[in-house]
Amino acid sequence: MNTLNLSEYPHRRHNPLTGEWILVSPQRLKRPWQGQVEHLAAIQRPSYDPECYLCPGNLRASDQRNPNYAKTFVFDNDFGALLPDAPTENINPNGVLIAHSEPGICRVICFSPHHDLTLAQMPVPDIRCIVDTWCDETIRLGERENINHVQIFENKGSMMGCSNPHPHGQIWAQYSVPTEIVKESENQSAHLAKAGNCLLCDVLKVEIEQQIRIIDSNDYFVALVPYWAAWPFEVMILPRHHHSGLISLKPEERQAFAAILKAVTVRYDGLFDVSFPYTSGIHQAPTDGKDHSEWHLHVHFYPPLLRSATVRKFMVGYEMLAEAQRDLTAEQSADILRGVILPHT
């Protein structure tokens, strides 16, 4: 019998995707806040900004001119973190200090021609265009011989390091499978070998039974606060049916994916009545040609806001040196997000 009250006493929770643990300290919510307070400027952007590098028809910093695009627009990042022509070379001078070259491609996806519309403000059919673009780019990049992983993500807001306010996302496709993906692959594979079932299918089954961390759902997708969430209002989106990646989604599932993305981001904006900052990203199976039946497609949302639009969560001290820690439990976060009053559509 469970006797520990998880909403009152400190405890650790296990993240089955990464194998890591997180310290949860709900009793700390009673302390007064005397930390940093963010000063947020009012965001009033025009539909078109002649100075924006990403608006239709404008000149980018590379002296390349954008077309007068009407939907999504994708181009190779002018200052990409990865280069397709990186030389193939390994450096291992003494067996301890090791490096190797990393070829890859970085792409930018302008969500729409409108400078002032975030995902939360876009109609679902326009978000569906973004979903279709993600699928197309996953296929196009993943088929390349030297690309073994495709990472799609969005940094929203200056608080998350976004350098251009025009709503956009990025794709980094590279030769190596990144560290977070390796951890998730290993743990999903281990669960499949031990239980004979997909890890996230099993997680989703429990979440649907308990109904205490789910914040939104439709016929094909569920949005929930993960039991092991590290960020105060972290959210994960999962397809109800097993998919290892975007490319196997059926048309009706793509539409439902667009709808659940809209639902989550609208809730975020309504939480503190502010254009909510976050980093979000799609995790899917590597494109290395191997069987990845253990993989279950999912989306992570990591937002930094803690108690209000002006109080931010920082990963510092114990969290950088020991393990992640949070005060607000996943159940409390889900209850708060579910309670957001949504605008009439």
Active-site positions? Answer: 168
308: which strand partners? 311
Radius of gyration of the chain (CA): 21
How far from 115 is each of 4, 44, 79, 152, 278, CA to CA, in Å?
A: 49, 10, 21, 21, 18
- The answer to whether 162 and 155 are in contact (CB under 8 A) is yes
Q: Find, among 177, 222, 232, 230, the residue nearest to 200 by Cα.
A: 222
- The answer to whether 331 and 6 are in contact (CB under 8 A) is yes
**Amino acid identity, position 191:** H
How far from 113 is each of 49, 78, 117, 177, CA to CA, in Å?
A: 10, 19, 9, 32
Handedness of CA 289, 293, 295, 297 (dihedral sign): positive
- The answer to whether 4 and 27 are in contact (CB under 8 A) is no
Burial of 305 (0-12, 13-18, 19+ CB in 10 A): buried
CB-hemisphere CA count at 13 Å for 192?
15
Helices assigned H by DSSP within 10-157: 124-142
- The answer to whether 192 and 293 are in contact (CB under 8 A) is yes
In angstroms, the CA 117 to CA 284 distance is: 27
